[in-house]
Every structure is written in C-alpha cells, then in structure tokens.
Amino acid sequence: MWDLQKQTREIKNKTVQLCWEWNNFSSDYSKANGVYPKDKDILDYTLSGYINSRLKTGFDLNSGNLSTSLMQTCKTFNKSKKEIIKGERSINSYKADQPIDLHDKSIKLEYKNNEFYVRLSLLNKAGMKKYNINSGFYFKMIVKDNSTKTILERCIDIDEYKIRASKLLYDKKKRLWKLNLCYDFENHSVSNLDVDKILGIDVGIHCPMVASVAGDYDRFTINGGEIETFRKRIEARKRSVLKQTKFCGDGRMGHGRKKRTEPALKISDKIARFRDTANHKYSRALIEYAVRKGCGTIQMERLTGITADSNHFLKQWSYYDLQTKIENKANEAGIKVVYIEPEFTSQRCSKCGYIHKDNRPAQAKFRCQNCGFEANADYNASQNIGIKNIDKIIAKELKISGANPK
Ligand SMILES: [Zn+2]
C-alpha cells in the first residue's frame, strides 16, 4: 500500500509537469500562429489521454485508479492555471502523504455475518504478478455508528446510493488506513412537500432546539438535557480519574504521564461520540417532523463567529454540528435549507412584529410590550425564523420605527 501511495504521488507530479509543458507549448504556439493549438491535432489524444498513454506503463497501480489520479490532477491544474501564469500561486507539488485514488469500479462493498467488508482493486496485471496477489485487497471495515452503517447498506443496494471515485488515506497518528468513501444519490423528494411552507428552527440557549411553522401552535422541541446529563456524569468520572493519578501507589503510576491520563482522554472521546449520535437522532427526528408538516423549506439562523470562551465554544461547535447534520438530511429528503441572519429574531413579537428588548422579561419567556402576546421565548423566535425573508422584514421594521432595541 505504501508503494502504491508513492506511485500515486509520482503520477500526480508527472501529470502536473506534463500539463505545465503543454501549457507552455500552447502559449508559444499561439504567439507564433495567432491561435491556440488543439491537443488532439498535436498529441493525437486529448491532453489527459496523452498523459495516460505516457504514464500507463511502469506503474503497478490499477489503471482505473491511475487515470482517476491523473484526471483529478489535470482538473486541479486547469482550475489554478490562470493564477499560476500570473505568478499568484505556484504549481502544485504533491507530497508523500498522498491518498491513493480509487476509481468507483475499484470498490466493492460486502456485508457478511453482521460485518462490512470492502474489496479494492489496487493493482494492474504487472502489479499482481510483482506482489503475488491475484485477487483484490480485502478489508474488514470498522463501522462505529449507525448512520455510517445505513449509508453502507444503501451503497450495497446499488439502486439506492452510487459509489463514486474515492480515496484511501493513511492516518499516521492512528496508524490506520482509512477509506474515504464518496457516494451520491437521487433526491428522494417527497412529492407533497411545499417549498413555500417553511419550518423555522431556533437553536436556543435554554432549549437546544425549537422548530415550528409560522402561525402554527404545534412545535417540535428537543431539550438536549440528555447530552448535558451525560457530560456531567462522565466529567465527574473524569475528575475522579485525574485525582487518582496524583497519588502514588495508583495502578497507573510508573508509566509516564501519557499513560496515566489516558482514561481521561478516552472520556472526552466518549462525550464527542455521544453528542454525535444524539445529533444524528435529533436531526433525523426534525426532518421527519418537517416531512410530516409538508414543509419544503427549513430556515435556520446563520451561526456567527465562534467565541473563544471554551464553554461557549463547545456549545456552538455542537450546534454547528447539529446544523450540518440537519442540512445533510434535509438535502437527502429534498428539503431546501435557507440560512437567515439571527439578529432580533428573539426580540421580535411573532404576532405583531414589535421589536424591543423588554419583550424578553426573562431568558425563557417572551411577552410583547405592544400587543401582550405571551409565549415560550424559543418558540416565539422559531415563529419569526420561519417567516420568508425575515431578516429583510426586520431591517425594514427597524428603519420605519427608528428604534434601536439594543
Ligand atoms: Zn406583539
């Protein structure tokens, strides 16, 4: 595998070189003749076909994978060509940690006895002879969470997801090869979704998430308490582990600090994994709610800069992760995602539009100073967020009233 990694790097660097040479030739030619040369006329091939014909021998890489590396390198070169010529950036040079490119046809997934396996074609005929390997490389896959499992199942069922060109990467820290599997799918758009029916989602401080359709009293709520409970429980355990390590005679003494603090580190991994699973669950439930309500669009607040305050950072990171998962699942369901500017959505009365900071007598409570409308503050915010072009509407309302609610 490391040999193949080296060869991939070599292919990419040679490809760049040939692209560059052709580029120089082509510009000289145009200066002399007033027109750019056609690659087919001069090379007998397209440029990438020509490079392929030059590079196909002397390597052990499966030809599909080799041409995937080559095509992608050409594409990258063409994208940055203008900047390279202007001297704004240098020509790409590919380093030793190159991922091995995989053509979609080089990947076969299998499911046997509750385990996932992948068969990869990595070698060409010469390579198979050289390494004395005559079938593909067969790996058992480590699948950690249910959503990956679902994706793999859908990839195996070829009518659902289609595998695309992917990569094999070597993770030096974990000393593991990782398969970065790419796939695509048709939108399973649910036909009775109405693009103009919008679900507004508020990611609050008290409730992590409240979603509702404008004008609808019904709402979808996640209080997220389970993550907090889990975090507290686990951190209490972490503190006790760290405390233990201060005393001599502890079972973990004498192995150096790294070894001693290992359990504490694993705990933070645990919290992250728990949060990941929880966010998958929340986002799935939310999308199911949107589909049930017939919403073809969801609107969320665009998260603004992440603060340095570590407590906040974790929270915001978690929201960001939740938003990403919602967005992915919405795309899959054919639901449009619109981000709005969050300013004043929590101070605006969703019934009459009056904006004032006094509308929030307490964090969790909303009471309109103009019309007397009372509601849970996060619910009121979600009502606002679910209004089409709400940021523009708020800007207009503020201009008219001339008020500065801040
Ligand atoms: Zn009001």
Active site residue 171: no
Which of the following is catalytic: 202, 216, 228, 391?
202
| Number of neighbouring beta carbons within 10 Å of residue 100 | 26
Residues with CB under 5 A from ligand 1 (ion): 349, 351-352, 354, 368, 370-371, 373
C-alpha neighbours within 13 Å on the C-beta side of residue 46: 5
Separation of CA 294 and ligand 1 centre (Å): 27
Q: CATH classification of 189-226+281-406 is 3.30.420.140, yes or no? A: yes
Active site residue 378: yes
361: left (phi over 0), alpha (psi -120 to 50) or beta: alpha
pLDDT at residue number 200: 96
Q: Which of 187-196, 235-244, 326-335 has the lowest mean pLDDT?
A: 235-244
Nearest to 97 by CA among 12, 9, 1: 9
Local confidence band at 231 (pLDDT 50, 70, 90 cut-offs): confident
pLDDT at residue number 315: 62
Question: In the predicted model, is pLDDT for residue 359 greater than 70?
Answer: yes
Tens digits of per-residue pLDDT, 255-287?
A: 555 555 556 567 777 777 888 888 888 899 999
Question: In the predicted model, is pLDDT for residue 76 greater than 80?
Answer: yes
Question: In the predicted model, is pLDDT for residue 58 greater than 70?
Answer: yes
Nearest to 394 by CA among 359, 355, 358: 355
Separation of CA 118 and ligand 1 centre (Å): 59
- What are the tokens at 34? 């007033």
Domain ranges of the chain: 2-58+65-85, 100-185, 189-226+281-406
Tens digits of per-residue pLDDT, 293-334?
A: 999 999 998 876 555 454 555 566 677 888 889 999 999 888
pLDDT at residue number 250: 47
Instruction: Give me the DSSP letters along 148-175.
Output: HHHHHHHHHSTTTEEEEEEEEEEETTTT
What are phi and psi for residue 50, nearest 5 degrees?
-65, -45
Separation of CA 359 and ligand 1 centre (Å): 9
pLDDT at residue number 38: 92
Beta strands in 104-160 (DSSP E): 107-112, 115-120, 137-140
